C-alpha cells in the first residue's frame, strides 16, 4: 500500500508539509479534454486526489472530464477505480468527497455548440463551487486535436476568463513532429494564449530525480567546479524500457524512439546536466539557460546516430513478439524502437566532451540513468602493475539514477586493505528509499500544482521545443529517406543493436552497464 509523500518522510520532516509552504493555488476548474483516457484515469486524477489528501489544493476545486463518448453513467466509477488501483491510502469517504468534485461532459472537439454549453457549465460550477472563473484546460488528446480545441477555446473567449479569473492551458507532448510542424503548432497556440498561459508538459520534469540534478549541481560547491571538459571525459544517458509499445501502435508508428523519448524527455535531462548556472533560480533565468544550451548542441546527422527495431525475444523470462508483429503496426515498419546518438555541445564548458544518449523499448530492463565519467588525474602516481583482483584504476563516475531504485552513486578507486598498493573501485551510495522512505508521488502532482500556481519553471518553453527540434530534424528527415534493410536488428531483452556499441567503440569508449 503506497503512502502520501508527507507520510513517507521521517517525522521531523513532515512538518515541512503540514501546511502548504506559503501558498496554495487559487480556486480552479480543471477541464481535461480527452478526459475518458488512460492518462486521466492513471495519472491525472490520482495526482489531484493525492494533492488534495496532502492539503495542497484549494477547497474550491472542480474537475470536468471532456471526451467524445457518452460515458456519463460509468465515468465516475471508472475514474474512482483508477485512483484506487494506484494504491493511494485513503478512506472511502475522502475518495467520495473528492469524486463529488469530478464530472463528465460528452462532446466532440469540433462541435462549436458544445463549447458554448461547456462554457455555461463552467459558469454554473463557478456559482456552485466558488471557483471564481479560473480555468486550467488540460489537453490530454491526440495531437491532431490540439489545434481544434485551442481554436475553439479562442473562438468562444475561453482563453481569458471574463470575470477576472485566469485561464491556462496544459499541452501534452508531442509538440509537433519536426521543427516546421512545431513552429506551426506554437504559432497556432500563440494566436489564442500568451506564452505565460501555456504549460507544455514533459512529465520527466515532474520527476524528483530529474529536478534533483539541478540541486545536485547548483546547491553545493563540491561538484560544479569539476563539471566541464577539463575534468569530464564523457556523459552517457540511458532511458531503457523493458515494455513494448503497449497497444499504442498508431501513435508509436508515427513517433518512434527519437520523437517519443529522445527529443523531449532526454533533452530535458541533458539540459539540466549541461546548462550553465542560471543567474537565479527564477523560471525566466532557468529557461533562458536551458534554451542557450539547447541552441549550442550541434544538429544530428545519421553519422552520429544509430537506430534499431526490436525483434522477438525474451523479456523478464517471457517470450515477446517482434515490433512488426504488434497490433496496428505495419508488418514492414521502419519505425525505430531504439535510438542512440552522440551529441556535441559547442560551448567553452563542453567542447570536446561527447554526450551519448540511448533510449529504447524492449531492452534488457527498465532503467534511466545518467553516468558522468571523469578523466584520469593529470599525473597518475599509481600507474604500475597492480596486484589483486582489480583490473586497473577505475574512472571516477557519478551515476545519477533517475529510476527505478532512485539515488546517486559516486565511484572511486580505493586501496585494497592488503600489504601492496592495489586499487579497486568502490561506491559511495545515496538511495532515496533509505533516506526518505519509499517515494510514490508521480511527476504529475508537482506539475499540476505548478500549473495551477502559474509557475512555468518545470515546463517546456516554446523556444526550448523549437531548439530541441532543430537538433533532431535533420536526422529524422535523413532517416525518413533511407531504407532500413536490417530491421529488426536487435532481440527483445538485449541492449539494442550492435551499432549502438560501435557508436562508442569508434571513440574508444563503451557504454557503462546500468
Ligand atoms: C512517455 C512515452 O512519454 O514516457 C512512453 O510516450 C514511455 O512511450 C513513457 O513509456 C516513459 O515514462 P516513464 O515515466 O515510465 O519513464
H/E/C letters for each residue in 71-127?
Answer: CCCCHHHHHHHHHHHCCECCCHHHHHHHHCCEEEEECCCCCHHHHHHHHHHHHHHHH
Distance from the alpha carbon of residue 442 to the mean position of ligand 1, in angstroms: 12
Quick one: pLDDT at residue 165? 85
Listed ranges 37-41, 83-87, 113-117, 442-446; the one with the highest mean pLDDT: 113-117
Query: Which atom from ligand 1 is nearest to the alpha carbon of 173?
Result: 3
Distance from the alpha carbon of residue 150 to the mean position of ligand 1, in angstroms: 25
Q: Are residues 153 and 137 in contact, defined by beta-carbon separation less than 8 angstroms?
A: yes
Query: Which atom from ligand 1 is nearest to the alpha carbon of 264?
Result: 3
Distance from the alpha carbon of residue 136 to the mean position of ligand 1, in angstroms: 23
Distance from the alpha carbon of residue 265 to the mean position of ligand 1, in angstroms: 9
Indicate the pTM of the whole model: 0.92
Distance from the alpha carbon of residue 269 to the mean position of ligand 1, in angstroms: 14
Which band of pLDDT confidence, cut at 50, 70 and 90, is reported for residue 254?
A: very high
Q: Which residue has its alpha carbon closest to ligand 1 atom 8?
A: 260
Average pLDDT over residues 62-73: 91
Q: CA-to-CA distance for 503 and 514, rounded, in angstroms?
A: 17
Task: Quick: pLDDT tens for 378-387.
Answer: 888 887 656 5
Q: CA-to-CA distance for 258 and 307, rounded, in angstroms?
A: 9
157 Cα distance to chain centroid: 31
**In the beta sheet, which residues pair with residue 204?**
none
Q: Which residue has its alpha carbon closest to ligand 1 atom 4?
A: 261
C-alpha cell at 59: 477547497
Q: Which residue has its alpha carbon closest to ligand 1 atom 10?
A: 241
Query: Which atom from ligand 1 is nearest to the alpha carbon of 265?
Result: 3
Q: Is 265 a catalytic residue?
A: yes
C-alpha cell at 69: 463518448
The CA-atom distances, in angstroms, between 245 and each of 54, 145, 257, 324, 368 are 34, 22, 10, 11, 17
Task: Quick: pLDDT tens for 460-483.
Answer: 999 999 999 999 999 999 999 998
As for ligand 1, residues whose beta carbon falls within 6 Å of it are 241, 260
Query: Which atom from ligand 1 is nearest to the alpha carbon of 241?
Result: 10
Distance from the alpha carbon of residue 317 to the mean position of ligand 1, in angstroms: 22
Of 160-174, 184-198, 274-288, 453-467, the least confident: 160-174
Task: Quick: pLDDT tens for 46-67.
Answer: 999 989 988 899 999 999 999 9
Mutational test site, ligand 1, from 265, 339, 359, 370, max ligand atoms within 8 Å of CB: 265
Q: Which residue has its alpha carbon closest to ligand 1 atom 14?
A: 204
Distance from the alpha carbon of residue 243 to the mean position of ligand 1, in angstroms: 10
DSSP-based three-state secondary structure for 168: strand
Average pLDDT over residues 332-342: 98
What is the DSSP code string of 220-267? -SSSGGG-STTTEEEEEEEEE-SS--TT-HHHHHHHHHIIIIIIIIIH
Cβ atoms within 10 Å of 97's Cβ, excluding its own: 11
Which bin fits 55, alpha (ψ -120 to 50), beta or left (φ > 0)?
A: left
Query: Which atom from ligand 1 is nearest to the alpha carbon of 245?
Result: 8
Select which of 50, 177, 203, 265 is catalytic.
265
Q: Which residue has its alpha carbon closest to ligand 1 atom 9?
A: 261
Query: Which atom from ligand 1 is nearest to the alpha carbon of 252?
Result: 8
Q: Is the pLDDT of residue 507 over 80?
A: yes
Mutational test site, ligand 1, from 43, 254, 260, 441, max ligand atoms within 8 Å of CB: 260
Mutational test site, ligand 1, from 241, 253, 370, max ligand atoms within 8 Å of CB: 241
8 Cα distance to chain centroid: 23
Distance from the alpha carbon of residue 116 to the mean position of ligand 1, in angstroms: 35
Distance from the alpha carbon of residue 366 to the mean position of ligand 1, in angstroms: 11
Mutational test site, ligand 1, from 37, 203, 460, max ligand atoms within 8 Å of CB: 203
Average pLDDT over residues 99-125: 95
DSSP-based three-state secondary structure for 380: coil
Quote the crossing angle between the two packed helices 45-53 and 92-99, to the nearest 10°. 120
Which band of pLDDT confidence, cut at 50, 70 and 90, is reported for residue 417?
A: confident
Task: Quick: pLDDT tens for 2-52.
Answer: 444 555 555 545 544 544 455 799 999 999 999 988 899 989 999 999 899
163 Cα distance to chain centroid: 35
Q: Which residue has its alpha carbon closest to ligand 1 atom 5?
A: 260
The CA-atom distances, in angstroms, between 50 and each of 46, 54, 122, 413, 442 are 6, 6, 24, 43, 9
Q: CA-to-CA distance for 330 and 313, rounded, in angstroms?
A: 19
Query: Which atom from ligand 1 is nearest to the alpha carbon of 239?
Result: 16
Quick one: pLDDT at residue 2? 44
Q: Which residue has its alpha carbon closest to ligand 1 atom 2?
A: 260
Amino acid at each position: 500500500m503506497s503512502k502520501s509523500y508527507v507520510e513517507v518522510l521521517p517525522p521531523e520532516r513532515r512538518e515541512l508539509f503540514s501546511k502548504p509552504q506559503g501558498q496554495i493555488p487559487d480556486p480552479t476548474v480543471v477541464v481535461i479534454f480527452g478526459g475518458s483516457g488512460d492518462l486521466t484515469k492513471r495519472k491525472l486524477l490520482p495526482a489531484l486526489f493525492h494533492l488534495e489528501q496532502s492539503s495542497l489544493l484549494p477547497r474550491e476545486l472542480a474537475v470536468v472530464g471532456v471526451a467524445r463518448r457518452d460515458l456519463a453513467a460509468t465515468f465516475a466509477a471508472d475514474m474512482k477505480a483508477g485512483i484506487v488501483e494506484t494504491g493511494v491510502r485513503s478512506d472511502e469517504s475522502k475518495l467520495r468527497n473528492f469524486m463529488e468534485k469530478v464530472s463528465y461532459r460528452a462532446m466532440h472537439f469540433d462541435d462549436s455548440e458544445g463549447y458554448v454549453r461547456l462554457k455555461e457549465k463552467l459558469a454554473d460550477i463557478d456559482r456552485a463551487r466558488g471557483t471564481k472563473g479560473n480555468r486550467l484546460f488540460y489537453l490530454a488528446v491526440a495531437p491532431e486535436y490540439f489545434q481544434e480545441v485551442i481554436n475553439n477555446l479562442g473562438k468562444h473567449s475561453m482563453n481569458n476568463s471574463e470575470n477576472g479569473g485566469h485561464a491556462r492551458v496544459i499541452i501534452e507532448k508531442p509538440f509537433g513532429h519536426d521543427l516546421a510542424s512545431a513552429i506551426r503548432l506554437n504559432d497556432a497556440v500563440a494566436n489564442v494564449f500568451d506564452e505565460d498561459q501555456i504549460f507544455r508538459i514533459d512529465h520527466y520534469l515532474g520527476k524528483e530525480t530529474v529536478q534533483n540534478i539541478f540541486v545536485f549541481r547548483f546547491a553545493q560547491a563540491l561538484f560544479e567546479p569539476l563539471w566541464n571538459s577539463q575534468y569530464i571525459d564523457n556523459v552517457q544517458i540511458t532511458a531503457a524500457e523493458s515494455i513494448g509499445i503497449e497497444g499504442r501502435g498508431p501513435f508509436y508508428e508515427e513517433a518512434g524512439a527519437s520523437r517519443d523519448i529522445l527529443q523531449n524527455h532526454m533533452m530535458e535531462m541533458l539540459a539540466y546536466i549541461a546548462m550553465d548556472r542560471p543567474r537565479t533560480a527564477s523560471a525566466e533565468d532557468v529557461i533562458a539557460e536551458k534554451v542557450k544550451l539547447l541552441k549550442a548542441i550541434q544538429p544530428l546527422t545519421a553519422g552520429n546516430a544509430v537506430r534499431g527495431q526490436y525483434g522477438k525475444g525474451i523479456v523478464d523470462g517471457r517470450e515477446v513478439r517482434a515490433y512488426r508483429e504488434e497490433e496496428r503496426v505495419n508488418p514492414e515498419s521502419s519505425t525505430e524502437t531504439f535510438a542512440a546518438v552522440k551529441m556535441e555541445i559547442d560551448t567553452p564548458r563542453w567542447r570536446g566532451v561527447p554526450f551519448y544518449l540511448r533510449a529504447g523499448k524492449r531492452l534488457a530492463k527498465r532503467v534511466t540513468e545518467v553516468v558522468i565519467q571523469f578523466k584520469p588525474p593529470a599525473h597518475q602516481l599509481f600507474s604500475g602493475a597492480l596486484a589483486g583482483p582489480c583490473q586497473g584504476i577505475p574512472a571516477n563516475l557519478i551515476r545519477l539514477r533517475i529510476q527505478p531504485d532512485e539515488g546517486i552513486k559516486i565511484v572511486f578507486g580505493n586501496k585494497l586493505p592488503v600489504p601492496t598498493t592495489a586499487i579497486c573501485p568502490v561506491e559511495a551510495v545515496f538511495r532515496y528509499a533509505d533516506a526518505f522512505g519509499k517515494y510514490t508521488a508521480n511527476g504529475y502532482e508537482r506539475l499540476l500544482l505548478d500549473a495551477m500556481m502559474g509557475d512555468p519553471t518545470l515546463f517546456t518553453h516554446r523556444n526550448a521545443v523549437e531548439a530541441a527540434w532543430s537538433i533532431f530534424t535533420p536526422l529524422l528527415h535523413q532517416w525518413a529517406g533511407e531504407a532500413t534493410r536490417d530491421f529488426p536488428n536487435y532481440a527483445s531483452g538485449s541492449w539494442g543493436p550492435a551499432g549502438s556499441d560501435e557508436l562508442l567503440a569508434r571513440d574508444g569508449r563503451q557504454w557503462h552497464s546500468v
